[in-house]
Amino acid sequence: MANRYFNVSGSGGNSNIELLDPGDGVNNTKSILITNTHSTEEATVSLYIKSATTTTQTGSTWFLIKSVAIPTGASLFLDDPAMLSFDNRKSDGYGLYASVGASDTVNIIMR
């Protein structure tokens, strides 16, 4: 998988962001680096997978991390293959999403 880069800001209604859409064909994520870029405040971050919503089922959510506080200028590095392994190949598979607090700003790098 090529690196993917995201700037996530809780302001302006962008507190939830889709990192991988179901069907993106990515099933070999090696690591995710989440860095708090806010100059004075800690960031509260959740990372979750969600099954696709179809005409016959409502998507279910499973949290990889939930409401984790990342101090100013610090990073959280996730690299456990068991945690990052999920089926993203099919459009009815799973997507990967992140959410942050209302005033938080973070960078996310996926490899």
Nearest to 65 by CA among 33, 93, 87: 33
pLDDT given at position 59: 72
Q: What is the mean pLDDT of residues 5-34?
A: 86
Nearest one of 58, 12, 4, 1 to 34, comparing CA atoms: 4
For 58-106, the pLDDT digits (tens) are 778 999 999 999 999 999 999 998 888 887 888 888 899 999 998 999 9
Asked if 36 contacts 75 with a C-beta cutoff of 8 angstroms, the reply is yes
Q: What is the pLDDT of residue 57?
A: 63
Residue-wise pLDDT tens digits, 24-51: 988 788 999 999 999 999 999 999 999 8
What whole-number distance in Å separates Cα of residue 53 and Cα of residue 101?
Answer: 25
